[in-house]
């Protein structure tokens, strides 16, 4: 499809976080006007490069009314969910409050202010244990943890809001977001960090003693789990295309986002060692409960309907960009430490 270049005013909730901050940069580079709403519980003020940052929470309905009254938004992008699977099992209440109740607050204020376009960050976790791979949009939805359930609940609510209120939405079901902006200005900063690539890079930098590998006896070529990694900038391009899709078609859509191929844990470790020129100490532990052997996306629908094409489908680019970000962060930390000593 031919896409129109239409400048839009976009509210990005969760825009100070990992994916959200990359999205803010991409939106501005595409010529859009950006407002960010983030409570900074896991995001970072300095990650919002440009754009107007409003520090606040989706639970604050008075603030939400004020933000929508004082601005005229064409579309909203949602990155404000809690995302840790293990934490969601231990603390389901905070996941349902934030990922469902607070998102409902957002939808309701959008409806009241006649803002009818939303791009929603969903997840492959809505599918649960895969019945087949690659996973397409027809795959049964059977989430096995509160995080995945909270996202699937929201996808169903969005379908109801579309039918009742005309709130058009695109739900983008991420597989494994990874990498960093090639400029080195933005990257992944979770606390605690739970994702394989940044953890491996911390080991390469000597910030962790060893990398823990959970299971090397899976039915895969090298015995380790296989995952579909997608570069964060490619995710952002999919969001831009989704916003354009909503503008041009006025239709809702749910699609999977991944590279369509998987990389094993051993392959990731080898790539980190190659890019960082280090050897990673690895501790092998038993499998974690609920870790499928393979999670790979069938993203043909996103390519067909959105015109999406990953720019960085290779593992080397993903790890290289993440490594550059890690080195930049390390350099900044060392500079601050020297300044504190000299102060």
Q: Which two tokens stand for residue 159?
A: 């379908």
Contacts of 179 (CB under 8 A, 6+ apart): 197, 229, 231, 232, 233, 312, 317, 318, 319, 321, 322
From 18, 95, 147, 174, active-site residue: 147
Task: Give 87: exposed, middle or buried? Use CB within 10 Å, 0-12, 13-18, 19+.
Answer: middle
Q: How many angstroms separate the CA atoms of 305 and 253, rounded?
A: 9
Calculate helix-pair angle for 265-276, 315-342, nearest 10 degrees. Answer: 50
- Burial profile 290-325: b = 16 or more Cβ within 10 angstroms, e = fewer: eeebbbbbbbebbeebbebebebbebebbbbbbbbb
Give catalytic status of residue 147 as yes or no: yes
E-assigned strand segments in the chain: 9-13, 33-38, 52-55, 75-78, 117-123, 168-174, 176-178, 211-214, 226-227, 229-231, 253-257, 263-264, 282-285, 294-295
As annotated, the active-site residues are: 147
């Amino acid at each position: 499809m031919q896409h129109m270049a239409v400048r839009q005013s976009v509210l990005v909730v969760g825009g100070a976080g990992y994916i959200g901050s990359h999205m803010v940069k991409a939106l501005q580079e595409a010529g859009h006007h950006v407002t960010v709403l983030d409570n900074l519980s896991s995001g970072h003020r300095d990650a919002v490069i440009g754009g107007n940052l409003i520090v606040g929470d989706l639970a604050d309905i008075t603030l939400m009314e004020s933000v929508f009254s004082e601005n005229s938004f064409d579309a909203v992008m949602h990155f404000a969910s809690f995302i840790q699977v293990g934490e969601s099992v231990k603390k389901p209440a905070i996941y349902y409050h934030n990922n469902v109740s607070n998102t409902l607050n957002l939808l309701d204020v959008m409806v009241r202010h006649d803002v009818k376009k939303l791009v929603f960050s969903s997840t492959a976790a809505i599918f649960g244990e895969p019945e087949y791979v690659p996973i397409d949009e027809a795959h049964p939805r059977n989430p096995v943890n509160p995080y995945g359930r909270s996202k699937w609940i929201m996808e169903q609510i969005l379908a109801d809001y579309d039918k009742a209120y005309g709130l058009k939405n695109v739900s983008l079901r991420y597989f494994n977001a990874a990498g960093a902006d090639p400029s080195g200005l933005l990257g992944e900063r979770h606390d605690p960090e739970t994702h394989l690539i940044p953890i491996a890079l911390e080991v390469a930098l000597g910030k962790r003693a060893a990398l823990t590998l959970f299971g090397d006896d899976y039915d895969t070529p090298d015995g380790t789990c296989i995952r579909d990694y997608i570069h964060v900038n490619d995710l952002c391009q999919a969001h831009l295309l989704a916003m354009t899709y909503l503008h041009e078609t006025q239709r809702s859509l749910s699609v999977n986002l991944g590279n369509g191929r998987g990389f094993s844990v051993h392959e990731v470790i080898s790539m980190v060692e190659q890019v960082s020129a280090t050897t990673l100490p690895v501790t092998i532990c038993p499998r974690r409960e609920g870790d499928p052997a393979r999670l790979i996306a069938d993203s043909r629908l996103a390519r067909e309907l959105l015109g999406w094409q990953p720019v960085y489908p290779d593992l080397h680019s993903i790890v290289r960009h993440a490594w550059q970000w890690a080195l930049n962060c390390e350099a900044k930390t060392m500079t601050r430490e020297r300044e504190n000593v000299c102060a």
